Amino acid sequence: MTAIQAEAGYAGDRKLLVSARNLRAAYSGPSGDVVAVDGVSLDIGEGDVIGVAGESGCGKSTLGAILSLTARPPLRVLSGELDVDGEVQDLTRMDRLARTWRGSVVSLLPQGALNSLSPTVRIRDLVVDVVRAHQRNTKRSDALDLARDRLTQLELPARVLDAYPHQLSGGMKQRVVTVISTLLNPKLLIADEPTSALDVSSQKNLIEMLQAMLEQRIMSGVIFITHDIPVLRTVSTRLAVMYAGKIVEINDTETLVTAPRHPYSAALLNSVLVPEPQLRQRRVQSIPGAPPNMLSLPSGCPFHPRCPYAMDECDEEFPPHVGSPSAYSACWWAGKHEGESLEVTL
Amino acid sequence: MSAADEIIDLPSAADDEGLPPALAGGEPGEVLLEAKRVTKVFGHGHSAVRAVEDVSFDLRTREVVAIVGESGSGKSTLARLVLRLMPVTSGTISLAGKDVTSIRGSELRDHWRSAQAVFQDPFASFNQFFTVRRLLMRSSRLRAVSDIDLEKALGHVGLKPDDVLEKFPHQLSGGQRQRVMIARALLLKPKLLVADEATSMLDASLRANILNVLSDLRSEVGLTVLFITHDIGQACYIADRVLVMSNGMLVEQGSTDEVIFNPTHPYTKRLLADVPKLHQGRTEAG
């Protein structure tokens, strides 16, 4: 099976919401282009929360920028299209993009969102700005009503609209930004590290709010980008593991966490520290070596220099996608060991 | 990307061998650090903030003790008080039997030799224009440092001197930078190492490595570690004892097994309930 076949269709049992095909993007730099996302295809179903995990520099956030249509120089999209309900957007032609797509079809909850509020602007003025950017003639009161209803619906106090950012706690700021970024009912919300700067209690609040928003159909799908696998375990329906700009394994969260089929997923899972009694009985292994230099990737599978299961094929050719289009592992080991999974210590 | 371009592949520390940190403890020695009724108030009058209130605890030699709590619970303030980077409002702190609460001048410099720290952001604690060697040699302002000391300190954190000494910080990966910071602290041969969120900005895959390094140092050089974190998983992995802080107060302390697997204080219970688990299913909301 090849990457092309993996694009062919969405085999999940949910209705297809958004389909991203063959995304490829590069940062231009003094020493040449660095391809940060290379041939990623992703189908998102209704109600799906797709977790994207991987080490720093694996291309997770770049993927978020492409999908949220916010790629800007030095990042260039080399190829890729986004299919929403049969409407196809060519991602290489950002200038041809209907402005209404951003915010109402896809919306980005950026990394460090809680620092993205202007300290001198009350939340209510930001709300009006956001709504008017899309529907120019909206009355101020209508925009505020919309926001007030939304806040009440999610059981947040409506008085935050009158507050300045410094009057809100970090967790509350993050939730308010989330509400504002979904005011226009986007089909797909791309949340880039939304919980990383929060402590566990605020994390849980945000996750519960996202789940409430999905239930209430405020948005229909979420891409949740983080390096924190235990968080993804609680929030995501499907999990994609990225390495060196490619999705190396994708599967149902449950299956991937308990029975990974890619050595990199297994290594990531084994380095997770969660407060469970078994953790105190073992010595956690970190992944040997460092993530590859994206300017000169190793030949074949980019993970092979760090992989305990590396075989002869691994440094010769990039491994095929083993499995179905919606649940595969890009690994030679997985190809030879059908139906088997790698051991997770915890 | 340009910073990442030049990151060199260095062999990681030999962290594959050795005991699990939780089992490496052995018998703790005598009391090294003792904090009695420590209070720190910022501001005064109506705007007074009691950041640390009436906190008492002790650390024994070769122990790894974690302080956990939410953002704003006063963990980092407590660390700064222990390091004597700021004065306490009331209470006493003593290190190795010596009261360090209000020492000054050369005595304070002595204290800084005995108690060293590693902070959260390994990038912010480097001067970008200095090589690792120059950075480490700056420690000689507190204690004479020879090349052999440099080699030993880097060896303890699993780095080869030839690989890193002439490098600039941007040429090192996050984990390597944090290991250099630990080596810098070790150069002063401290009795106490305070790690304030030292691993929070690192990837999970590197985090285990740094924690193993810290744990091994206790058997290698008899180091005592005060590990401050908001991540209960890390505390659970490395600590012998855990102190839980909330709103400036110490609400629970005890051995890691007691506090994390059998908490008694309602705050600790709530904190633990909020931690996402890997294997005990989704949250109730899910």
| pLDDT at A245 (0 to 100) | 93
CATH number for position A13: 3.40.50.300
- In chain B, which among 223-282 make CB contacts under 8 A with chain A? 230-237, 256-257, 260-261, 270-272, 274-280, 282
Nearest-CA distance B246 → chain A (Å): 13
At residue B168, does pLDDT exceed 70?
yes
**Cβ contacts (< 8 Å) between A274 and chain B: which residues?**
233, 236, 275-279
**Cβ contacts (< 8 Å) between B2 and chain A: which residues?**
29-31
Per-residue pLDDT tens over the stretch B51-97:
999 999 999 999 999 999 888 889 989 999 999 999 999 999 999 99
Give mean pLDDT, residues A4-27: 72
Establish if A55 belongs to a structural domain.
yes
Nearest-CA distance B217 → chain A (Å): 15
The question of ipTM being above 0.90 is answered as no
Q: What are phi and psi of A283, to 5 degrees?
A: -105, 115
CA distance A94 to A237: 30
Per-residue pLDDT tens over the stretch B120-159:
877 777 888 999 999 898 888 888 888 888 988 898 888 8
- In chain B, which among 44-103 make CB contacts under 8 A with chain A? 70-71
At residue B33, does pLDDT exceed 90?
yes
| pLDDT at A321 (0 to 100) | 92
Specify the number of domains making up chain A: 1
CA distance A113 to A128: 18
Establish if A310 belongs to a structural domain.
yes
3-class secondary-structure state, position A233: helix
CB-count burial class (<10 Å; 0-12, 13-18, 19+) for A194? buried
Give mean pLDDT, residues B262-278: 91
Establish if A173 belongs to a structural domain.
no
Give mean pLDDT, residues A305-317: 91
* Nearest-10 crossing angle of helices B266-274, A200-215: 50
Question: Does domain B31-125+191-274 fall into CATH 3.30.460.10?
Answer: no
CA distance B146 to A145: 69
Per-residue pLDDT tens over the stretch A32-74:
888 999 999 999 999 999 999 998 888 998 999 999 988 888 8
| Domain boundary assignment for chain B | 31-125+191-274
**Which token pair is B141?**
């302002």
Give the number of A-B residue pairs with CB atoms closer than 8 Å.
Answer: 170
CA dihedral A289, A294, A295, A296 (to 10 degrees): 50
CB-closest option in B9, B280, B282 to A289:
B9
3-class secondary-structure state, position A29: strand
3-class secondary-structure state, position B190: coil
Q: Of the ranges A174-178, B38-42, B128-132, B198-202, which one carries the lowest mean pLDDT score? A: B198-202
Establish if A344 belongs to a structural domain.
no
Task: Supply the range of the domain harboring residue A215.
Answer: 3-114+185-336
| Reported pTM | 0.85
Q: Of the ranges A162-171, A195-204, A324-333, B240-249, which one carries the lowest mean pLDDT score? A: A195-204
At residue A320, does pLDDT exceed 60?
yes
The CA-CA-CA angle for residues B143, B147, B152, to 5°, reads 85
| pLDDT at B285 (0 to 100) | 35
Phi-psi region of A276 (alpha: psi -120 to 50; beta: other; left: phi over 0): beta
CA distance A26 to A39: 11
**Cα dist from A183 to A133, A172, A173, A195, whole Å:** 12, 16, 15, 20
| pLDDT at B280 (0 to 100) | 57
At residue A8, does pLDDT exceed 60?
no
